[in-house]
Amino acid sequence: MTLFLPQNSLSQSYREILIGVGEDPDREGLQDTPMRAAKAMQYLCHGYEQSVDEIVNGALFASDNDEMVIVDDIELYSLCEHHMLPFIGKAHVAYIPTGKVLGLSKIARIVDMFARRLQIQENLTREIAEAVQRVTQAAGVAVVIEAQHMCMMMRGVEKQNSTMNTSVMLGAFRDSSNTRQEFLQLIGRSK
């Protein structure tokens, strides 16, 4: 199921953008740019064509483990919904299993699926946490994302060294300060 405009329609939109910024889309260096940009945007937003159920694909496995599972430093690339400029960072995801564990790569794939949509970081963090919670029925889920936003670095205030940090704590991570503190220590976010 494709939600995108046909490439030639999206390409035409990029051609109009080039004209709008004062460029000549027929000059040698730009002749193929509208099509390349259309393909790039479709790739950068391919999360719209995915669902959590398709990504997980039954990769839940019985386990007696009831201790925290953490996948950290998952690189992510997204586009802010306000300026359509990239934000780049990493996600740290943890959950406490209740009889089932999720295939390791599935957590990174869930992060990618939501990141590959027009987003704000606050919503991205919550969407990942809620998806992992729904799939695993975990006793708790924690997600921390730290990212640098090109909309703040390339334009506006032009601050090159700022990083935005967001977190969502569900279940045991919200209810227990000890559980939350253990997670934050393990990902190096607490002293």
The pair of structure tokens assigned to 33 is 């740019």
Quick check: 79 and 42 in contact, CB under 8 A? no
Catalytic site residue from 16, 75, 81, 122: 81
Per the annotation, the verdict on 121 as an active-site residue is yes
Total number of residues shown for the chain: 191
Q: Give yes or no: 46 in active site.
A: no
Whether 149 is catalytic? yes
> Are the C-beta atoms of 58 and 43 separated by less than 8 Å?
no
- Annotated catalytic residue: which of 45, 92, 127, 149? 149
Torsion of CA 108, 109, 111, 112, to 10 degrees: 120
The answer to whether residue 45 is catalytic is no
Q: Parallel, antiparallel, or unpaired for β 164-171 and 100-102?
A: unpaired
As a whole number of angstroms, the distance between CA 181 and CA 191 comes to 10
What residues contact residue 162 under an 8 Å CB cut-off, 6+ apart?
A: 148, 149, 152, 153
Is 83 annotated in a binding site? The answer is yes
Which is catalytic among the residues 92, 119, 121, 127? 121
Ligand-binding site membership of 45 (annotated): no
The residue from 80, 92, 119, 133 that is catalytic is 80
Q: Which of 16, 54, 75, 82 is catalytic?
A: 82
* Among 23, 50, 83, 130, the one annotated catalytic: 83
7: annotated active-site residue:
no
CA diameter of the chain: 63
The residues annotated as belonging to the active site are: 80-83, 121, 149, 151
Q: Which residues are annotated as a binding site for Zn(2+)?
A: 80, 83, 151
Q: Which residues are annotated as a binding site?
A: 80, 83, 151
